[in-house]
Homo-oligomer: A and B are copies of this chain.
Amino acid sequence: MSVKNSKIQLQCIACKSRGESHFSDLKDEDLEILSEHKSCVTYKKNQTLFYEGTRPMGIFCINSGKVKVFKMGSNGKEQILFIAQKGDFLGYRSLLSEEFYGASATVLEPAAICFIPKSDFLKVLHSNPEFFGKLMKAVCHELGVMETKLAQLSQKSVRERLAATILMLKETYGMEGEGSEVIDIVLSREDLANIVGTATETVIRLLSEFKSDKMIALEGKKIKVLDADKLIHEADFYG
């Protein structure tokens, strides 16, 4: 199979994923500007959008698929900061702080992603105070989320963090079932460990325990949440 990525045609104006994105309220003329030099490409699993330490040239807008954003440690272990999906965009943080990328982004599930050059993005941003304000609000919110993650990493046990992570994934990727929800994202145990901030083996062991305790079930690669209340208790939320 060829490894070449195929270019595809995606119009911002008609983009299904835009509704839930920060671009939702932009005027058509602004969308025109964004589309002008945009290039859209399909990515396969494990392809990397950008690397930590390199210079941002624009932003990536996810039309479909899932992407992990992570920092690599000196020991070769990744710490996943967050997972982005359709409607999210990536790389604007470094762009706006005028720094090199602080993290790398790699595709988890096959994705269609548009790249918008820096200049076009900034043009729209600066001609559009409302949009700017909205983005500011989003960044401030993200900062709060990151601070919460930091505190939980420091204060909670691995078991608690894994339970909390499963619940968080359920919120974002959960698909309704009868009394249970399947988490619709393909994550290796290693990736899960790199979200939680622990060793792969530890995650495997704890998943086995959660399974024995009927809190979750494993459906192929995916996790099914059987007893969310018990998981909440494990996560020691607001305990």
Footprint of B on A, CB under 8 Å? 71, 73-75, 77, 79, 81, 92-94, 96-99, 102-103, 126, 129, 132-133, 135-137, 139-144, 146-156, 197, 236, 238-239
Interchain CB contact (< 8 A) of A154 among B79, B148, B155: B79
Interchain CB contact (< 8 A) of A97 among B73, B102, B141, B239: B141
Interface residues of A, dominant DSSP: helix
Task: List the B residue with the shortest CB-CB distance to A82.
Answer: B147
A218 to B58, CA, bound (A): 48
Q: B residues within 8 A CB of A150?
A: 79, 81, 146, 149-150, 153
Task: List the B residue with the shortest CB-CB distance to A100.
Answer: B144
Q: B residues within 8 A CB of A94?
A: 140, 144
Q: Can you show 21 pairs from A to B with CB atoms below 8 A apart?
A: A71-B148, A73-B154, A75-B155, A79-B151, A81-B147, A81-B151, A93-B143, A93-B144, A94-B144, A97-B144, A98-B137, A99-B144, A102-B147, A102-B148, A129-B132, A132-B132, A135-B136, A136-B136, A139-B139, A139-B143, A153-B153
A143 to B154, CA, bound (A): 18
Judge whether A136 and B102 touch: CB under 8 Å.
no
A126 to B132, CA, bound (A): 11
A144 to B147, CA, bound (A): 11
Judge whether B71 and A151 touch: CB under 8 Å.
yes
Query: Least Cβ distance of A22 to chain B in Å?
Result: 13
